[in-house]
Amino acid sequence: MLAASVAALVGLGDAQAVEFHKDGMTAKEVQSWLTDSGYKAEMAKDTDGDSYLKSASDGVSFDVHLYDCKKDRCASMQFIAGFDLDEKLELAKVNTWNEGKRYVDCFLDDEGDPWFTYDANVSPGGSREALDDDFAVWLSFVPDMKELAGWK
């Protein structure tokens, strides 16, 4: 009995990362991952009929778009947040932000509003732990995004 208990505890120490399907994740799986992580995850469709998810953190709405999809499984995703500002953001400010930041990129739309993007791969070899880490990076930039946009 003791040997079985020790073997079980040793097995816990060797817990492996929860790997995703070799071809990536479905929109429903991404939705479940977001809700399991404590965030809202509203399914939506873009103008091409492709699924994406709407979520938010710290008062900032963001979307999760799925890419490199085959048979409903997607190998990558992009987190994207945009700010609709009353006054245009200066390109020089965005360029300075991009030069000083790693991971999250910013660009301006035709109206001078900032958009922030971060890409994550979930295939091949993606895991829940790796995606959680990517998501933590994205979330860590939300205060910086708000500051650049002058968002209160």
16 inside domain:
no
pLDDT tens column, 121-142? 887 777 889 899 999 999 999 9
Strands (E) across the chain are located at 42-45, 51-57, 60-70, 73-82, 105-108, 114-121
Instruction: Look up the domain containing 32 and give its range.
Output: 25-149
Task: State how beta strands 105-108 and 114-121 pair.
Answer: antiparallel
**CA distance from start to end of the chain:** 59
pTM metric for this prediction: 0.84
pLDDT of amino acid 12: 42
Q: What is the CATH number of the domain that holds 31?
A: 3.30.1460.70
pLDDT tens column, 69-105? 998 899 999 999 999 999 999 999 999 999 999 999 9
For the chain, the domain total comes to: 1
Matching residue, tokens 């930039």: 141
How confident is the prediction for the chain on average, in pLDDT? 87
137 inside domain:
yes
CA 54: distance to chain centroid? 11
